[in-house]
Amino acid sequence: MAEQSFMKSLFHGVIAEELISPWPESSTEEREQVQRLVDSVRKLAESVDSAEIDRTATIPPEHLRKMKDLGLFGVPIAREHGGLGLGRGASARVVSELAAIDSSLAVTLGAHLSIGLDGLLMFGTDQQKRKYLPRLATGEHLAAFALTEPTAGSDAAAIQTRADPSPEGEGWILDGGKIWITNGGVADLFTVFARTSPPEEGTKPRITAFLVERAHGIETGARATTLGVRGASTTAIRFDRAQIPGGNVLGDVGRGFRVAAAVLDGGRVSLGAQCVGLCKRLVSMAVARCGERRAFGRAIGQFGLIKDKIARMMVDTFALESAVFLTAGMVDAKIADWSVESAICKILGSEALSRVAHEALQIAAGAGYMADHPWERLLRDARAHLVFEGTNETLRCFVALAGMQSPGRALSDVTRAMREPIKGFGLLSDFAIRKARSALGRERVHRVHPLLNKEAVLFEEYTVELQRNVEKVLRKHGTEIAEMQYTQRRVADIAIDLFAVAACLSRTTRAIEKKGEEGARREIELTTAYAAGAAERMAQNVRAFERNDDELLKSIASRTYQDGGYPFDAP
């Protein structure tokens, strides 16, 4: 029942180990090229004043010019179109390093490289690519992604922006508006999503993706005032009977959902990479603070509770980095489906960053609260990642439902086959084989180094728990599972931890093989620590499938809605 997706296979209890091991590595030539890019990016730090960018809510033009000169805006674009022709892993490495310097620079570049460009790279015609990619590769033009509307965020089906065929029949007329568009005020090319079917009650709209040039009637709103990442240009845009050439449809008419989903997958990997860069910077700042600040006659870094914070920050960052770059490697290896993995990167990344930023401010103490130090700005910047590219609540539902979709179909097929046993004989035989295999023992991993055997066994055991509980809740709730978000969250959280453990095992196995046990001691310890924490969380989630307070919490929320807020006076 294995699919060309590591995580979707895992929901069947199948460990498609060949998709994650050996750890993905690029060619020597590409590694050297990426390292030169990274070294050049690090030199930018000498001239970037992030406090000034935050204060003025503007990126100085010279920073963008230096980024253009380095070729950063063309990292994933083919050489034939003027780009560097590098893979997803290279793009992730570049935006990660840039995020360690300044979030506004990283978000501006990341929005261009991933959600801005991906639609054109994946679905564009040869003619569209020849027309637009050369200027996008040099940074002469920037790209942006326009999906969100006041009534349509995570629910893309609620889009109201319309595109109607022009009277001449040679193009489209675009009307409507989008909000919170990253690069909205500076982009020259937008991937815009609009309804191309009549608004009929009870029917799913047909959405189409368009390549829209700024010259085609885009009106840009004022820059939004944001909590963090203030230098990035975030604006509303409006279309008032904008004329779009017929050749600017991206993909097929009415198939825009497919384009949007594919583009957002790539954006979530990029966002996870930005979280990696910010986490690394915060860890370094916290370590420096541990040596500078003294209490009771010694450096605070010598105290146990501070060591605990530093250790947990390191574990979070290591697991996140492993998950992000494993997923990027899957993309570069042309694995067919990495949608669940990319969503996990975004959830894992934004929540790890939130914890790391919080603990860094605790270590900084009073200085962390002061606006003349960078800590509070980095905390504000970190907050944006929890809502970029889809809220984590929505993405948890996606991880669970996308993972359970195929097991659900399998159970449905088996149920039908049991009603018609002769027609369904082959299907029932396959199901019996899988059940017999699981009865004989759990799926095993074979490519993990023996030094990591304890963690490998833990991964195997909780893979069984994931499959067993998915099957149980699907049999119990059937199609109603789509509304059971408490259960979805538990399924998703187990899946998130399993993927992070798998990524750490793959990465650390490679480290042991290259450097030996002592050389890879730090990777081994970080993997052991993450797996131990994951085991506690997964055990709690497994227990909660049977024993939980879901209905009590729903009741409290419902009563609070009725009361219009907190109903009690002070006692």
Query: ω into residue 61 within 30 of 0, thus cis?
Result: no
pLDDT of residue 407: 86
User: Residue 424 — very low, low, confident or very high, per pLDDT cuts 50/70/90?
Assistant: low
Q: For residue 226, what pLDDT is reported?
A: 95
Least confident segment among 81-95, 171-185, 211-225, 417-431: 417-431
DSSP output for 274-310: HHHHHHHHHHHHHHHHHHH-EETTEEGGGSHHHHHHH
Measure the CA–CA gap between 343 and 345, rounded to whole angstroms: 5
Amino acid 20 reads I
Percent of the chain with pLDDT over 70: 93
Q: Are 332 and 26 in contact (CB under 8 A)?
A: yes
pLDDT in tens, 75-98: 999 999 999 999 999 999 999 999
Q: What mean pLDDT do residues 129-150 have?
A: 96
- Give the three-state DSSP class for 230: coil
Whose CA is closest to 99, among 316, 321, 286, 257? 321
Q: Residue 158: what pLDDT? A: 81
Contact 368, 329 (CB under 8 A): no
- Confidence at 3, pLDDT banded by 50, 70, 90: low
Task: Give the residue numbers marked as catalytic.
Answer: 389
- Cα separations in angstroms, 469 against 157, 286, 439, 473: 31, 40, 15, 6
pLDDT at res. 437: 54
Place of tokens 């998915």: 470
Domains present along the chain, CATH in parentheses: 18-138 (1.10.540.10), 143-257 (2.40.110.10), 262-392 (1.20.140.10), 414-558 (1.20.140.10)
pLDDT in tens, 298-348: 999 999 999 999 999 999 999 999 999 999 999 999 999 999 999 999 999
- Among 488, 323, 501, which residue's Cα sits nearest to residue 404? 488
12-37 mean pLDDT: 94
Rounded to 5 degrees, what are φ and ψ at 224? -75, 140
E-strand ranges in 331-467 read: none
Does 219 have pLDDT greater than 60? yes
Average pLDDT over residues 424-453: 70
pLDDT higher than threshold 70 for residue 245: yes
Give the pLDDT of residue 1.
39
Query: Tokens in use for 535?
Result: 């085991």
Cβ atoms of residues 301 and 290 within 8 Å: yes
pLDDT at 212 over 50: yes
Q: What is the mean pLDDT of residues 462-491?
A: 93
CA pair distance 99, 72, nearest whole angstrom: 13
Where does the pLDDT of residue 2 fall: very low under 50, low under 70, confident under 90, or very high at 90 and above? very low
Instruction: Name which of 189, 253, 250, 181 is nearest 216 in CA terms.
Output: 189
The arithmetic mean of pLDDT across residues 151-156, rounded, is 71
Write down the residue that tokens 């929901």 correspond to: 11
Q: What is the pLDDT of residues 110-134, one digit of tens each?
A: 999 999 999 999 999 999 999 999 9
**Which residue matches tokens 């105290």?**
303
Instruction: Quickly list DSSP for 182-227.
Output: ETTTT-SEEEEEEE-S---TTSPPPEEEEEEEGGGTEEEEEEPP-S
Residues 349-397: pLDDT tens digits? 999 999 999 999 999 999 999 999 999 999 999 999 999 988 999 999 9
Q: What is the pLDDT of residue 255?
A: 94
Q: CA-CA distance, 194 to 184, in Å (whole number)?
A: 17
Whole-number Cα distances in Å, 480 to 269, 340, 477, 484: 31, 21, 5, 7
Q: Which residue has the higher pLDDT, 140 or 216?
A: 140
Residues 204-231 have a mean pLDDT of 91
Parallel, antiparallel, or unpaired: how do β-strands 162-165 and 143-146 relate?
unpaired
Stretch among 269-273, 437-441, 507-511 having the lowest mean pLDDT? 437-441
- pLDDT on residue 62: 96
Q: What is the pTM of this model?
A: 0.93
